[in-house]
Structure 1
Amino acid sequence: MSEVYRLATIEDVERLVYVTYEAYVTIRELDLKWPAAHADYALIENNIIKNECYVLEVDGEIKATVTLNKGNEIKFITDLPFVMWFAVDPACQGTGIGGKLLTWVEETIIRDKLGAPALTLATAEKHPWLLPMYERKGYARIKAFDSEKGDGVMHLLRKVVNPAAFEIYLQEHEQQIDNEERDNHTVSQ
């Protein structure tokens, strides 16, 4: 079995539309307003062009994808890298393929290439298994918020990928962290 980790290209759009759309069935059933849940050719192409969309190919076929957001959508909350659009071909869900890709992006891209101490992602509280899944993968909830898009409470999660660098980051961002914790405490009451 050959595995290749790489950036997606425009030639991958058709396969990524399939993988993303099929992986987000539960999101659509929950009526969450996430763009990836309604992935079409134009949306996937735009994602590849504007962000860093990574894929894991197994034996020449894309089986999983995750995107490192290059925009500023969450800069008002955190300056840490933000990943989104994590999707695994339904035929491969539960096999560990998605976890392999996510770990590779966390370590090879976020920690080693970007030199970031941690990364973030967001998910909905009402999804039945995403929060526990990410927590098992080492992510911790840092902020609860309502995006006012009809998705209910969303959670921003963070995973530390370089503990020594994260300690320095915490010292440099102590006030911001205090504000996040205070806001999170207020939302959870």
Structure 2
Amino acid sequence: MSEVFRQADLKDAEQLVDIIYRAYHLIRELGLHWPAATADLALVQENITLNECYVLEKDGAILGTVTLSKEDEISQRTGIPFVKWFAVDPNYSGQGYGGKLLDWVEEHIIHDRLGSSAVTLATAKKHPWLVQMYERRGYERFMELEGRDGDGLMYLLKKTLQYKQQTI
């Protein structure tokens, strides 16, 4: 039973639509207007094409996904890489797969490949547990933004990455 971390490609899109839709059910119930919460196949394909979408795969099945955004307004404003569209298949929730995927992307992609010492993400104040989950992972609130489409207060969180630089 091997775990594989890799960049998603278009053949993964249908499976990602299903995972993201099921994982974001609470986002829809809260009335948040996040694109991932109602993403269809075309939007997931666009996300894979325009950004760096990563997955954790185990025994050929995708268990989780996270996207490193390209040229978004938050990265441009902060100068720090921004991650979004984080989702874990609800059938595997609470088993540590999401944390493994975020750890891998933070260390190997953002820190080692991009050379960044920090990463950012955004979440809604009104979500009952996301802010606390990210804070347990070492993220700290550093900016408040008024959400679009009536989403209310959004927190921009930042994590300082302290991985040892790999030598070749």
After TM superposition, the score normalised by the length of structure 2 is 0.95
Partner SS for 1:57 = strand
**Secondary structure of the structure 2 residue equivalent to 1:37:** helix
Which one-letter code corresponds to 1:148 in the other structure? R
1:123 is matched with 123
Q: CA deviation at 1:44?
A: 0.2
Which moves more between the two structures, 69-78 or 44-53? 69-78
Which residues of 2 match residues 38-53 of structure 1 at below 5 A?
38-53=38-53
- CA distance in 2: counterparts of 1:163 and 1:69, whole angstroms: 21
One-letter amino acid matched to 1:118: A
Q: Distance in 2 between matches of 1:10 and 1:163?
A: 31
In the alignment, structure 1 residue 27 sits paired with structure 2 residue 27: yes
- Unaligned stretches of 5+ in structure 1? 166-189
> What secondary structure does 2:150 align onto?
coil
- Aligned counterparts, 1:133-144, within 5 A: 133-144=133-144
Runs of 4+ in 1 over 2 A off after TM superposition: 162-165
- 1:126·1:152 contact (CA, 8 Å) conserved in 2? yes
Query: Any stretches of 5+ residues in structure 2 without a counterpart?
Result: none
1:163 positional shift: 7.9
SS at match of 1:36: helix
Equivalent residue letter for 1:100? K
- The alpha carbon displacement at 1:58 in A equals 0.8
Query: Taking every aligned residue pair, what percent have the same amino acid on both sides?
Result: 58
Corresponding residue for residue 54 of structure 1? 54
Instruction: Tell me which residue corresponds to 2:146.
Output: 146
* Cα deviation, residue 78, structure 1: 0.7
Q: What CA distance in whole angstroms lies between the structure 1 residues aligned with 2:62 and 2:16?
A: 8
Identify the residue that residue 97 of structure 2 maps to in structure 1. Answer: 97
Match of 1:162 in 2: 162
Aligned to 2:74: 74
1:147 shift after superposition: 2.5
Aligned length in residues: 165
Task: Report Cα offsets for 1:26-53 as digits up to 9, x if no partner.
Answer: 0000010100000110010000000000
- Report the Cα distance in structure 2 between the residues aligned to 1:104 and 1:76, rounded to whole angstroms: 23
RMSD: 1.5
Q: What's the secondary structure of 2:78's corresponding residue?
A: coil
